[in-house]
Amino acid sequence: MKKISFLFLFSALSLALSAQSLPKKYVFLEHFTNSPCPICASKNPAYYSLIKQYPNDVRNLSIYSAVPYSSCLIYKANTADNSARANYYDIVGSPTLILNGTQLAPSTPLLPPATLQAALNQTSPISIEVQESGSNPTKNIQVKINTFGTVPAGDYKLFTAVAERTVLYNAPNGEKEHHDVQRDLLPGGDGQAITLPATGESATYNYSYTFTAPVGWTSNYDSLYAIAFVQNTLTGEVLNVGTRFDPVFVGTGEATPLAIQIQPNPASTEARVILPNEAVVQIEVYSIGGQWVRTAYETQGTEVRIPVERLAPGIYLVKITGDTRLYVGKLVKN
């Protein structure tokens, strides 16, 4: 009976992960706010609390605009790029939310849970992979756009923002923490005009960012990350968004995943996998419910080591992308 249950679980989860025809479309929120704004202080905490419940689905970029107060310290740190996004949407007040390129009507709460729920579980014809390298003060950013389906007609631009995960700043409105703060836009506020690659093909863009400490708050180079998005300037629709934290979408045309042996299993501190003459490209770990779980891993040749100490006890599916095919195995954490 246990064998049948395992086979059913293995087949169901393997198919769910490998049979996706199009990449996941992340919910992209451009959050226009202002540090002296008292209404922002009253609405932002609930907004941040809500989106933190969806770490695998929502990507947020907080943009500090000149309204209602041009004295906003974070706005003044980069007036050109902050104004570029605000002017694109004709932002006239803060806080204002843009969801996948569409401005939401003012409301309390700032983001109604039902509105967020309606935007989940969507797909996109493109995926966006972001890789970062370099050391303080230079950050090198590579953005790779992969096309898997039919792209709507339009005029497309790639925007690559450098964001700061958390800014600690005691603002005039009483807010002390500011999340996913836009620090810069590459190559500039107008973005980069692009032609999206044909189905099955990809295009890569490279940028470089030099970190400088802002005036008024303590900034951390290690807190910076890139968030890239493709927008149809004719309709405003954001086709998809990507960060270095996102799993890589493999796409259609995959072979049926091969089963792998994970040792020890159950595991309490570390699990190991050895692939047959195959270099590792990507490793993803999913919960029994199909949720992607962030975890580290190390590779040495064809051997993979996965630390599991921080995983909650339970059953997980390990999906490994090799040079030529996929591998899937069940991992039990004690």
Peptide bond into 106 cis (omega under 30): no
Q: What is the pLDDT of residue 289?
A: 66
Q: What is the pLDDT of residue 286?
A: 83
Phi, psi of 3 (to 5 degrees): -65, -40
Q: What is the pLDDT of residue 17?
A: 46
Q: What is the pLDDT of residue 282?
A: 77
- Is there a contact between 28 and 103 (Cβ–Cβ < 8 Å)? no
Q: What is the pLDDT of residue 290?
A: 66
pTM score above 0.95: no
List of the chain residues with pLDDT < 70: 1-20, 250-256, 289-290, 323-324
- Tokens 């975890």 correspond to what residue? 295
Widest pairwise Cα distance in the chain: 68
What domains are defined for the chain?
Answer: 2-20+252-333 (2.60.40.10), 24-243 (2.60.40.10)
Tell me if residue 83 falls in helix, strand or coil. helix
263-310 confidence digits (pLDDT tens): 999 999 999 998 877 777 778 888 876 677 877 788 887 788 999 998
Q: How many CB atoms lie within 10 A of CB 280?
A: 20
- Is there a contact between 129 and 144 (Cβ–Cβ < 8 Å)? yes
- Tokens 């009976």 correspond to what residue? 1
The angle formed by the CA atoms of residues 157, 141 and 236, to the nearest 5 degrees, is 20
Distance (Å, whole) CA 232 – CA 235: 6
